[in-house]
Structure 1
Amino acid sequence: MINNQKDSLFIRAAFSQPTERPPVWMMRQAGRFMKEYWEIKNKYSFLEMCKTPEIAADVTMLPVDLLGIDAAILFSDILVTGEAMGGDLSFTQGIGPKYANPVRTQQDVDNLTTDVEEKLQYVPDAIKVIQQRLNGKTPLIGFAGAPFTVMSYLVEGGSSKDFKLTKLMIHNQPELAHQLLNKIADVTITYLNMQIDAGVNALQLFDSWALALSWDDYREFSHQYNTRIIAGLKRQDIPIISFCKGSSVFAPVMAEAKPDVISVDWNADLLNIKKSIPAGIAVQGNLDPHILYADKKVIRERILRLHDRMKEENGFIFNLGHGIMPDIPFDNVKYAVQVIQNELVNS
């Protein structure tokens, strides 16, 4: 039985309905800033955690149980789609993700499969376990990496500061880049619909590295694929959140893809972004995560300041402009959630 969350604070806000206060969740809310996360992580590799439904559920539940957050997000990684397509993925402490077989030639692209359902079955399995644990109390967000971001890891072979190889491909071999992006988009549609069928209550598309692109390249190599993905989802009653680093710049274009929510980085005035996009699209964000290092009085002041800008608006989900950093004090995160839940009242 899929839990119906349409009356939850988070789902109402995502669909731009009135809420008594903004709901709050935080990107990377189940992660390295929690000692409880490390108690699990020290026993298993990162991919073991992702691929073992009971462990993925344990980690997903940490911020629900310890922070009382208004939405849970599936514990997984944006790069599992690239692995399912044939990428040799590993995660190394202090280095991050690596694909041992980068995708740089026509043969490399041809070798990638789009038949991924069996390889990704551990994700729907985890969703079912998580929903049993949540027991209808909290909505669950599923997610995937957007094609350009997944492509950048596949082409670079891991993280990159300048995306030189990825940009060389889109500029010198645009046809090859589009073949690769089309394959990733097909897989992403399949993967997100698998998550819907398994019982998620919302979805977020993470285009973490879109800010590497110029305006024209964003439209050609990112936006058109994100648009196709959103159009390909079985999204009845399932709000779709679109996030990219660069949303402060790209939000008007992102809105053309017709997501329900645009998640905004911390470089923009959130109310200005809200007023620049069509009515009926909610916004999520956009507190600078570095604020959570600060003294509690500063954290509270910045939260109240952001809410003061947004309190007249329907369709506001309180979040960070990007993910929680690993060394942010847990107590500061918990305090921020308490301020949002206890002190913010919408007009």
Structure 2
Amino acid sequence: MLAPILPSPSSSPADSPKPLLQAIAGVKPTRRPVWFMRQAGRSLPEYRRVREGIGMLDSCFMPELLAEITLQPVRRHDVDAAILFSDIVVPLKAAGVGVEIVAGRGPVMERACSSADECASVPILEGDIPELTEGIGLIRQGLTASQTLIGFAGAPFTLASYLVEGGPSKNHEKTKTMMHANPHAWHTLMQRLTPTIIRFLEIQIAAGVEVVQLFDSWVGFITERDYREHVLPYSTQILDAVAQLGVPRIHFGVGTGELLGAMSEAGSEVMGVDWRVPLDVAATRMVTPRVLQGNLDPALLFAGESVVRDEVARICAEADRACASGDALGHIFNLGHGVLPHTDPDAITRAVECVHQH
């Protein structure tokens, strides 16, 4: 049986401001906000217990379990935000695409898309996802007045790559081939995916998420030229749709140091930066100053408390320099990607404590 979800305190956000929302708004937060991608997951023994015998995608459609998993790291680590427990392929599953998550491999499609006709047949998510709405309501009940709920969706390039490759790929050769040799099929697929992603985010926002992150796992494998032609218009369309709903937006991709300028043109208030680029350098690559998010190397959580403390100090100093120079508007501390499965939970908690001291 799941532990009960504790109700939120009665204090209003005005009485207890949310550091993450303050940082996004360009206001000096009450403390430097921190949350971690994949903070809910295999690094936590309580997660492994409640998910035992339950498939990953199944757990994303079970409201009480979804809420419990989302709240576990918030209770344990004192992070400033909960990130909705979900998976990049959940909107595809909800739309009717045949997809399963295979242990040790990742999302695997029932069939790959290799032609324009197959791309045109990819279903579009149009209805609601009641399980998701209910789960978000339960999460909101379990957060304090100072904690923010972040929703997220996979960005169109990453979803398209899964569909074209049939699953994870090391080289994305089929994806790049379609982009260049059959651009009609590629754009057909992106035009099918974009409304699904928008609808998935709309459902989350209507249910109560306060910030959304558009997460492009694989986009760092392509050139800036290809990004501008084949990806940027669709990511921009998604972020524009969210802007009309009045919710702040985070945009993040892995291995995207050379794409940061182009990605910042898509219009998010916050740009996530992976660990490969110092934050003050990354800030100079944006088309206009943004709030920065990042960027501790997740592997360094294994290196010991003194190393993590030094790295946190360095990253916070880089972000502060970028803000002082006018190249950035604020900083949300995060990893440069997700928490690794075998990370010691106590190392995560200590890192959060360290961030809050800066």
TM-score normalised by structure 1 residue count = 0.93
CA contact (8 A) 2:22 2:28 kept: yes
Once the two structures are superposed, the pairs formed by residues 189-338 of structure 1 within 5 Å of their partners are: 189-235=198-244, 237-312=246-321, 313=323, 314-338=329-353
CA contact (8 A) 1:285 1:319 kept: yes
Give the drift of 1:92: 2.1
In the superposition, relative to structure 1, how do residues 115 and 90 fare at CA in structure 2: closer, same or farther (>3 Å)?
A: closer
User: 1:163 maps to what in 2?
Assistant: 172
Once the two structures are superposed, the pairs formed by residues 115-194 of structure 1 within 5 Å of their partners are: 115-118=125-128, 120-134=129-143, 136-194=145-203
In the superposition, relative to structure 1, how do residues 255 and 93 fare at CA in structure 2: closer, same or farther (>3 Å)?
A: same
Give the drift of 1:80: 1.2
Once the two structures are superposed, the pairs formed by residues 103-122 of structure 1 within 5 Å of their partners are: 103-118=113-128, 120-122=129-131
Aligned pair 1:82/2:92, yes or no? yes
Q: Secondary structure at the match of 1:233?
A: helix
CA contact (8 A) 1:266 1:286 kept: yes
Q: Secondary structure at the match of 1:25?
A: coil
Provide Cα deviations, 1:3-32, integer angstroms capped at 9, x if missing partner.
985831001112222224320000000011
Give the drift of 1:37: 0.8
Instruction: Identify which range, 243-252 or 204-213, moves more after superposition.
Output: 243-252
Instruction: Identify which range, 231-240 or 292-301, moves more after superposition.
Output: 231-240
Q: Secondary structure at the match of 1:232?
A: helix
CA contact (8 A) 2:19 2:146 kept: no
Give the drift of 1:246: 3.0
Provide Cα deviations, 1:12-67, integer angstroms capped at 9, x if missing partner.
11222222432000000001111111001213111121000110000000111111
Q: Secondary structure at the match of 1:227?
A: helix
CA contact (8 A) 1:264 1:283 kept: yes
Give the drift of 1:137: 4.0
User: 1:23 maps to what in 2?
Assistant: 33
Residues paired across the two proteins, number: 341
Aligned pair 1:47/2:53, yes or no? no
TM-score normalised by structure 2 residue count = 0.90
Give the drift of 1:234: 4.7
- Partners of 1:90 and 1:153 in 2: CA distance: 11
Aligned sequence identity (%): 35
CA contact (8 A) 1:87 1:102 kept: no
Provide Cα deviations, 1:243-278, integer angstroms capped at 9, x if missing partner.
011332211111211100000011111012223325
- Partners of 2:48 and 2:345 in 1: CA distance: 13
